[in-house]
Amino acid sequence: MLRKLLPSDLASLKKAVSNPRAAVDQAFDESPLAPMRAFWDTLREMEVWWPVLIPVLLLVFWRTYHRERAALGAERDQP
């Protein structure tokens, strides 16, 4: 089936993309990965704040984790 769609001589195909990097960027912008790409770009822009943000996020994670564990322990101890 695919052989019917493609010409027998692949050299006869025109070069589809002149700038492969632009084509990849365009594919990411139009794909379901676009939100992930936007998140990554924003994260890279905040790189200067990482020494402040990472410890704060770890502290929030640690406190939330222990609060949830304590709540589960209290539920389990009830008759």
Q: What is the 3-state secondary structure (H, E, C) of 5-32?
A: HCCCCHHHCCCCCCCHHHHHHHHHHCCC
pLDDT in tens, the chain (79 residues): 556 655 565 555 556 667 777 777 777 667 777 788 888 888 889 999 999 999 999 999 999 999 999 999 878 877 6
Find out whether 53 and 46 touch, Cβ atoms under 8 Å.
yes
Within a domain: residue 54?
yes
pTM more than 0.85 = no
Q: Give the domain range for residue 56.
A: 21-77
Q: What total of structural domains would you count in the chain?
A: 1
Within a domain: residue 43?
yes
